[in-house]
Each structure stands twice: as C-alpha cells, then as structure tokens.
C-alpha cells in the first residue's frame, strides 16, 4: 500500500481526463451508429449483467407467486371464464382447421405457394428501458432458447415488435412503434396494402403513401400483409384512429393505434421467421445438383 494518503495522490489533471472520456464516448457513439463492430462488446456486457437483470425481476416474480397463493376466489372465477373462452376458441379452431385444409386445396389448385406455419417460443417481457428515445423491451429468452434476430414478437392481441439483438439468455426487441421501424400491412376490410411506420410515440403508427382519396375509415383494422417475409400474414397490428385528408399534400395523413400493448411481465410469443417454402428449397437443390453435374460433365 502507498504511504501517502489518498488525499495527496494525483493522476492526470481533471480536464485532461474529461477530454479523454468525451473523445472516447464520442468515438464509441459514432462507431456504434455507423458501423456494427460493437455487437460482441454489447453481448459480453449483457451476459455479465444477466444476474442483475434476473434479480431485478425477482420482486415481481415473488409478488406474482404471492398473488397466486392468496387469491383463490378469483381463481375459481378465472377458471370458469377460461373454460368458457376455451369452448368458444375450440369451436373457432375446428372451423379454422377445416378452413386451413380448404385453403391448402385451393392453393394447390391454383398452384400457389403454401402458407408457412411458424414455430413459436413462449417468452416474457423482462424490462422496459427508461429511455424514451428507443422503444424497446427486453425479453427473457435468448439465442440459447432459440430466439434469433429478426423474429417477430406477438401477444394475444397482435404484433408487438421484432427481435433486434439476441443475447445468450435474453434478447432485445424493437417495438413496431419505433421511429426506425416499418411493417408491411393491409387493411382487413378491403385488402389495400400499405406500409405502417413507427412514429416514436407510445402506441402510435403512421400509414405512409396513401392517396388522399383512399378507401379507409376510422376504426378499420390493419393486419400484416406478409410481404417481405419477415412478418407472417394476417396478424392484427393496429386500428385506424385518425385520418386527415389535406388537398394540398399528395398523401393522406393516417394515424393508427396499435392493438397489442406492452406492459410489464407480459407473456409474449416469439414467432420464428418464415422459412423458405419447401418447394423453393427443392428447386434450389435441383439447381445446385444441375450445376454439379455440369461441372462433372466438363471434367
């Protein structure tokens, strides 16, 4: 140990240190926004902080447990309600399976590509960052549990967002309302296609490039169109809440409110991205085989 008290010890002067740290953080910010080199560093820190994130979740987990333990009366009510809901849902499901088969037949007749079934993982929202600038949530499933970048997050009501950073045991999902996020949609009533972009505001989306005389009404439901292949088609996204048709501008100003909400400790589903259809894979394989045989012929 040093003999001089800490009081008298001096490193480089304060101002020098300040300038150094300012330059370092500015450099980090530039690198992080313009190049994607810092992903590993982020991942390492995220793994190191995983225990703390878990610990932060503990009080709510305990209170949930306590609630489960004490509220038995509600449980009976809830059970009855769920039974009813289950009955209704299973009725609908029976219809759905019939419809799915019918749809498959029709698609076969039309020689159209089959709709893909996606795999799902159940996850929970761990925390919502306090930063108002980036609309993200942290989920409790990472790539060790099968979560990947680009997967879609939905809840029982509709689309929430998309995984943007998958860490080993947790992942970061960007909400559809994020300013840099767009989602291909269509209006359920008439099948009109558009793109809904986030506005950066809570639960608010904007429909871009819709002509002034477009057939759209307040209260219309918009669902994913499935174009682009990231979002499966037919997932509810939002309800149209405000339409402003301004003659002076080329496009109508259409604001929608998202259906799915993001609350704490909510169960969500992670949908795996749509795999390329099997026949596409087959055709790719055939193409590769052809190429190989050509090569062999050349030899």
Partner 1 sequence: MTPTNYSKEEITLPAKSWFIILSLLVGLLLNLLPVNESLLILRPDFVALVLLFWGAYQPQRVGMSVAFVMGLLMDVVNSSMFGQHALAYSVMIFIVLLLRRRIHVFGLLKQAPQIGLLLLFAQFIMLLTELLKRSDFPGWHYFLASFTGMLLWPLISLLLKMSHSSKHDPNAL
Task: Return the number of the residue (103 or 134) whose C-beta is nearest partner 1.
Answer: 134
Provide the minimum distance between the beta carbon of 292 and partner 1 in the complex, in angstroms, as a whole number: 45
Task: Return the number of the residue (127 or 182) whose C-beta is nearest partner 1.
Answer: 127
Provide the minimum distance between the beta carbon of 160 and partner 1 in the complex, in angstroms, as a whole number: 15
Residue 87 interacts with partner 1 (CB under 8 A): yes or no: no
Task: Return the number of the residue (17 or 105) whose C-beta is nearest partner 1.
Answer: 17
Residue 166 interacts with partner 1 (CB under 8 A): yes or no: no
Site map (CB under 8 A) of partner 1, residues 94-123, x = contact = ------------------------------
Helices 50-70 and 39-48, packing angle to 10 deg: 50
Residue 126 interacts with partner 1 (CB under 8 A): yes or no: yes
Binder of partner 1 out of 92, 105, 117, 179 (CB under 8 A)? 179
Binder of partner 1 out of 70, 202, 209, 287 (CB under 8 A)? 202
Residues 36-75, interacting with partner 1 (CB under 8 A): 38, 41-42, 45-46, 49, 52-53, 55-57, 59-60
Residue 182 interacts with partner 1 (CB under 8 A): yes or no: no
Provide the minimum distance between the beta carbon of 66 and partner 1 in the complex, in angstroms, as a whole number: 16
Binder of partner 1 out of 7, 110, 156, 299 (CB under 8 A)? 7
Residue 138 interacts with partner 1 (CB under 8 A): yes or no: yes
Binder of partner 1 out of 2, 40, 111, 131 (CB under 8 A)? 131
Residue 195 CB partners (closer than 8 Å, separation 6+) = 182, 183, 184, 185, 207, 208, 209
Contact 162, 174 (CB under 8 A): yes
Binder of partner 1 out of 6, 73, 213, 296 (CB under 8 A)? 6
The values of phi and psi at residue 263, to 5°, are -110, 175
Residue 22 interacts with partner 1 (CB under 8 A): yes or no: yes
Nearest to 271 by CA among 232, 241, 244, 214: 232
Binding site for partner 1 (CB under 8 A): 5-7, 9, 14, 17-18, 21-22, 24-29, 31-33, 38, 41-42, 45-46, 49, 52-53, 55-57, 59-60, 125-134, 136, 138, 165, 172, 179, 200, 202, 263-265
């Amino acid at each position: 140990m040093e003999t001089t008290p800490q009081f008298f010890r001096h490193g480089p002067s304060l101002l020098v240190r300040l300038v150094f740290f300012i330059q370092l953080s500015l450099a980090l910010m530039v690198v992080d926004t313009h190049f994607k080199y810092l992903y590993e560093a982020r991942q390492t820190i995220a793994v190191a902080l995983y225990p703390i994130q878990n610990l932060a979740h503990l009080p709510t987990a305990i209170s949930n447990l306590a609630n489960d333990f004490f509220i038995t009366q509600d449980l009976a009510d809830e059970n009855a309600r769920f039974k009813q809901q289950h009955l209704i849902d299973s009725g609908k499901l029976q219809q759905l399976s019939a419809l799915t088969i019918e749809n498959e037949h029709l698609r076969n007749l039309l020689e159209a590509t089959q709709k893909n079934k996606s795999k799902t993982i159940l996850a929970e929202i761990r925390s919502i960052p306090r930063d108002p600038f980036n609309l993200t949530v942290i989920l409790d499933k990472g790539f060790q549990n099968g979560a990947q970048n680009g997967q879609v997050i939905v809840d029982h009501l509709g689309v929430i967002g998309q995984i943007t950073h998958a860490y080993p045991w947790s992942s970061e999902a960007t909400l559809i309302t994020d300013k840099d996020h767009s989602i291909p949609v269509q209006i359920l009533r008439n099948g009109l296609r558009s793109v809904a972009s986030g506005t950066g505001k809570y639960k608010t989306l904007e429909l871009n490039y819709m002509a002034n005389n477009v057939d759209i009404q307040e209260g219309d439901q918009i669902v994913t169109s499935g174009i682009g292949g990231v979002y499966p088609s037919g997932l509810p996204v939002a309800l149209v809440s405000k339409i402003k048709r301004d003659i002076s501008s080329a496009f109508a100003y259409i604001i929608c409110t998202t259906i799915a909400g993001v609350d704490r400790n909510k169960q969500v589903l992670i949908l795996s991205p749509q795999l390329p259809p099997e026949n596409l894979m087959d055709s790719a394989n055939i193409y590769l085989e052809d190429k190989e045989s050509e090569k062999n012929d050349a030899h």
